[in-house]
Amino acid sequence: EAAVTQSPRSKVAVTGGKVTLSCHQTNNHDYMYWYRQDTGHGLRLIHYSYVADSTEKGDIPDGYKASRPSQENFSLILELASLSQTAVYFCASSEDTTNERLFFGHGTKLSVL
């Protein structure tokens, strides 16, 4: 089973502070994604990457940056955290983008106060 590990599992941040969520995969997958989960909205794509040192905007990128320093690691950065960014964040990887199975991490519960 493919492995995607997220850290931290939960975090409390202050409004205006910087938050970095980390994701590490050992699947040797080229594609990695950051999703946000909110009640009533399902999973929405924030950023994704298909190669190291390159990231792409998803459907809701505003307020977020992403970094892919290596094939295995993909970070999500909130430079100025806001209350509206309180959510559960999931990282995922896939072998390629041709309608392939997504392997999700266990999520990071972020609370911005």
Partner 1 sequence: GEQVEQLPSILRVQEGSSASINCSYEDSASNYFPWYKQEPGENPKLIIDIRSNMERKQIQELIVLLDKKAKRFSLHITDTQPGDSAMYFCAASVPYGNEKITFGAGTKLTIKP
Query: Where does this chain bind partner 1 (CB under 8 A)?
Result: 4, 31, 33, 40-45, 48, 56, 58-59, 90, 94, 96-102, 104-107
Rounded-to-integer distance, Cα 78 and Cα 76, Å: 7
Rounded-to-integer distance, Cα 49 and Cα 34, Å: 9
* DSSP tag of 98: S
Residue 41 Cβ vs partner 1, minimum distance, rounded to whole Å: 6
Q: Residue type at 42?
A: G
Cβ proximity to partner 1: between 31 and 64 the closer is 31
Residue 112 Cβ vs partner 1, minimum distance, rounded to whole Å: 21
Residue 76 Cβ vs partner 1, minimum distance, rounded to whole Å: 15
Cβ proximity to partner 1: between 75 and 94 the closer is 94
Residue 22 Cβ vs partner 1, minimum distance, rounded to whole Å: 16
Cβ proximity to partner 1: between 19 and 32 the closer is 32
Q: Which residues pair with 77 in a beta bridge?
A: 20, 65
* DSSP tag of 21: E
Cβ proximity to partner 1: between 3 and 14 the closer is 3
Using alpha carbons only, give the angle 109, 65, 105 rounded to the nearest 5 degrees: 40
Q: Can you tell me which residue has the tokens 């999973």?
A: 43
